[in-house]
Structure 1
Amino acid sequence: MSRINLDQANTCIAATFAKGAELGLKPLSAAVVDAGGHMIAFQRQDGASFGRMQIAQGKAAGALALGVSSRKVADMAVERPWFVGALAASASHAVIPAAGGVIVVDQSGAVIGAVGVTGDTSDNDEIAALAGILAAGLRPQD
């Protein structure tokens, strides 16, 4: 597999929302992007605030920009705030340094895209993203 298709993206989002409902999370928003950070699919649950698309895509694209989960990008922001700030100011896509952005890889480990989730705590966003990825038959980066 060299890319995430629309059916997989939609399945991922539906499963992300199902995990959110199972856990009783606040309204979530989820973005699935290709390896270049470009949107494949996005959905926002009823009651989610209007800025969630940019946040979800920024978590996913930010993870791709640095090749690590957005949780690790958040750690970098603490360790090297000027670096992450400069990247965020100059990147072609938003960079949101908070957990909830997970890189997706193919069977060989090559990056094929990412999922970004926002709406609850960052830890819960990441749990929901991982559930969505796995439900769509995709593989998160280790």
Structure 2
Amino acid sequence: MTLDLETARTIVSAARAHGRDNGFKPLTVVVLDAGGHVVAVEREDGSSTRRFEIAHGKAHGAISLGLGSRALMARAEQQPYFIAAATSAVGGSLVPVPGGVLVRDPSGALLGAVGVSGETSDNDEAAAVAGVEAAGLTPQVD
């Protein structure tokens, strides 16, 4: 199973709907496949500048290290030099705060990641989780 465009669109749509339903600020949602390639992205009207780079960094960091960005935040607190070095190693695209969620199929195979930016990190993560679940897939935040 792969993370195809239609599935990625479902994730984006559901993440945005979660944000609207909960009164979030405008979101940017980025969906990457298991190779770290962008499959789908949407930036809501009014989303501030550089939200794509932040959402991409959350998802890309998760894919690069095999951990949700919440777990990367904990790792950054415990091993800041490692996260700084890893950020450099992946070309700077690693944002270690909640909002980057790994996407797994029902058997546990890694399909990709979703990154959300625009609200608080916890709310970004909640929108990402809602998107993944709406697609019938399993989110991994840690």
TM-score by length of 2: 0.95
Letter in 1 for 2:104: V
Cα deviations by residue, 1:63-113 (Å, 9 ceiling, x for unpaired)? 111111100101111111110001111214600001000001122211110
CA contact 1:62–1:93 (8 Å) conserved in 2: no
- In structure 2, stretches of 5+ residues that fail to align are none
- Equivalent residue runs for 1:47-86 within 5 Å: 47-86=46-85
The answer for the alignment partner of 1:113 in structure 2 is 112
Structure 1 residues not aligned, in runs of 5+ = none
SS where residue 59 of structure 1 aligns? helix
Q: CA RMSD in A?
A: 1.2
Which residue in 2 is equivalent to 1:21? Answer: 20
Matched residue type, 1:141: Q
Aligned mates of 2:10, 2:91 — CA distance in 1: 27
- Aligned residue pairs total 141
Aligned partner of residue 97 in structure 1, secondary structure: coil
Aligned-residue identity in percent:
49
TM-score for both structures, normalised by structure 1: 0.95
Q: Counterpart in 1 of 2:31?
A: 32
Q: Indicate the residue corresponding to 1:41 in structure 2.
A: 40
- Tell whether the 8 Å contact from 1:36 to 1:61 is kept in structure 2 after alignment: no
Runs (4+) of structure 1 exceeding 2 A deviation are none
Q: Is the 8 A contact 1:62 1:94 kept in 2?
A: yes
- Counting only pairs closer than 5 Å after superposition, residues 77-96 of structure 1 correspond to structure 2 as 77-92=76-91, 94-96=93-95
